[in-house]
A = this chain, B = another copy of it.
Amino acid sequence: MNEKEIIARARELFSSRIGDDGAVIGNQVITVDMLVEDVDFTRSIPLTFVARKSLAVNLSDLAAMGSKPEFAVVALGISEWARDGVEQFFVALRDAAKKYEIEIVGGDLSLADKLTVVITAIGRVETRPLLRSGAKPGDRIYVSRPIGGSAAGLHLLQRGWTVDGEPPAGIGYAQREFALSAIRRHVDPEPEVELGLKLARIPEISACIDISDGLSTDLQHLCDASGCGAEIERERIPIFPDLLGSGASLGVRVQDAVLHGGEEYALLFTSPLRESDLSSRLGRPAYNIGRMTSERGLVLKENGMARPLQPRGWDHLAR
């Protein structure tokens, strides 16, 4: 079974609550994420970042559901090399929890060959939960911020850059600045907690998901849940600063990073509201990248041409 099949089977066997970024139970949202060494991060990433990211991915799920972070528990599989870093990991986690006002109330520890972090987070729904379902044909599709940076950061890390933006060889100032910010976006993502709460308060927001698996794949998830298709315009997608310039010159495949790059943790949402109206109600930009359609499937418009867009984002079980 691939990931999609496994999730479909889990829905059948366990609960129809499965399928959103979190499960709604009463006025709570519950979500869990697992980060594993050599799958989601490597030993070269300082534990401070691993701790923050493991919380951030959960906070992003809570944000996508429009819920306010409340409580979390942490299961930690500690590998030998990480043993002396537990204090550092804990302090970073404590600081991140403080920042986002989530209380870490429990946990479990085990030995493990690979460092494994599983955080389960609970959020409170103030007004209503945001779901992946609910988008209607004609609704505008929005992303919350420029994307493509995380995939670019991963690309650079895989090519020898360090988390401090130290290049593998002599490199220009602009490229190094870009690399620093892209790598930071990848290793230390910022969940859209405030935005999620604001979106939940706007009744005209019809659906929401976070971009964890890539724009194409997460848009497909949203379409599947809403029973729609989508058409997006390449030129309207906001692109991570200098990705087109320095990113491309550093070998990043820009189109892939923007359309399919995972671990962005921007929000992807839909609404009949216009971009200017929505942005002013949010007090920050929302980027309209296209529209929901009644015909299933994704379409990408570029240079006046329309072509089918295959979801080619992250499958957690692909090798």
Partner-B contacts on A (CB < 8 A): 1, 3, 6-7, 9-10, 13-15, 17-18, 22-23, 25, 30-36, 38-40, 70-71, 73-78, 83, 86-87, 90-91, 93-94, 97, 103-114, 116, 118, 120, 122, 316-317, 319
Known: A13-B94, A73-B31, A77-B116. A317 touches B6 (CB 8 A): no
Q: A14-B104, A30-B122, A111-B316 are in contact. List 12 more A-B contacts (CB 8 A).
A: A9-B87, A15-B103, A17-B105, A23-B71, A30-B71, A32-B106, A36-B116, A75-B118, A78-B317, A108-B316, A112-B116, A113-B113
Q: Is the CB of B14 within 8 A of A103?
A: yes
Contacts of A90 in B (CB 8 A): 9-10, 13-14
Known: A112-B36, A114-B113, A118-B118. A107 touches B10 (CB 8 A): yes
- Report the bound CA distance from A319 to B78 in whole Å: 12
Contacts of A13 in B (CB 8 A): 90-91, 93-94
Contacts of A97 in B (CB 8 A): 14
- Report the bound CA distance from A301 to B263 in whole Å: 59
- Report the bound CA distance from A301 to B9 in whole Å: 54
Contacts of A34 in B (CB 8 A): 75-77, 108-110, 116, 118
In the complex formed, the residue of B with least CB distance to A20 is B106
Q: Is the CB of A120 within 8 A of B73?
A: yes
In the complex formed, the residue of B with least CB distance to A95 is B13
- Report the bound CA distance from A94 to B109 in whole Å: 25
Q: Is the CB of A109 within 8 A of B316?
A: yes
Contacts of A7 in B (CB 8 A): 109
Contacts of A86 in B (CB 8 A): 1, 6, 9
Residue in B3, B32, B40, B114 whose beta carbon sits within 8 Å of that of A75 in the complex: B32
- Report the bound CA distance from A32 to B73 in whole Å: 7
Cβ of A240 to closest chain B Cβ, rounded Å: 26
Q: Is the CB of A87 within 8 A of B30?
A: no
Known: A40-B110, A75-B118, A114-B112. A30 touches B105 (CB 8 A): yes
In the complex formed, the residue of B with least CB distance to A3 is B109
- Report the bound CA distance from A13 to B96 in whole Å: 12
Contacts of A38 in B (CB 8 A): 113
Contacts of A112 in B (CB 8 A): 36, 39, 114, 116
Q: Is the CB of A15 within 8 A of B105?
A: yes
Top 8 closest pairs, chain A to chain B, by CB: A23-B105, A120-B120, A23-B106, A14-B104, A34-B75, A118-B118, A32-B73, A17-B105
Cβ of A209 to closest chain B Cβ, rounded Å: 15
- Report the bound CA distance from A15 to B104 in whole Å: 6
